[in-house]
Amino acid sequence: MSIEGLIEKVARGLVDDPDAVGVEVIDEDRETVYELAVAPDDLGRVIGRQGRTANAIRTVAIAAAKKHGDRIQVEILD
């Protein structure tokens, strides 16, 4: 499974409107940025209390990317 697919699958499991989940991949010089977009009503579910859920998503994605030697960043769009 790709990093993009992993982020999307985790996010879809958290939200009420899984059809609104989207991940855009932006390749930069030294890293790849994954922008996660969800429905406005689901933003709180993806961020979580004090950002714990968002940090967990980032941790899982970064760990998966390191396995392949990639540097990534995960951003949640509001």
pLDDT, tens digit, for every residue of 32-62? 999 999 999 999 999 999 999 999 999 999 9
For residue 31, the number of C-alpha atoms closer than 13 Å in the C-beta half-sphere is 11
Calculate what percentage of the chain has a pLDDT beyond 70: 100
Q: What is the pLDDT of residue 57?
A: 97
Torsion of CA 45, 53, 6, 40, to 10 degrees: 30
Q: Is the pLDDT of residue 1 over 90?
A: no
Q: Is the pLDDT of residue 10 over 90?
A: yes
How far apart are alpha carbons 3 and 5 in whole angstroms?
A: 5
In CATH terms, the superfamily for domain 3-77 is K homology (KH) domain (3.30.300.20)
Neighbour order of strands in the sheet with 72-77: 22-27, 32-37, 72-77
How far apart are alpha carbons 57 and 66 in whole angstroms?
A: 14
What is the pTM for the complete model shown? 0.92
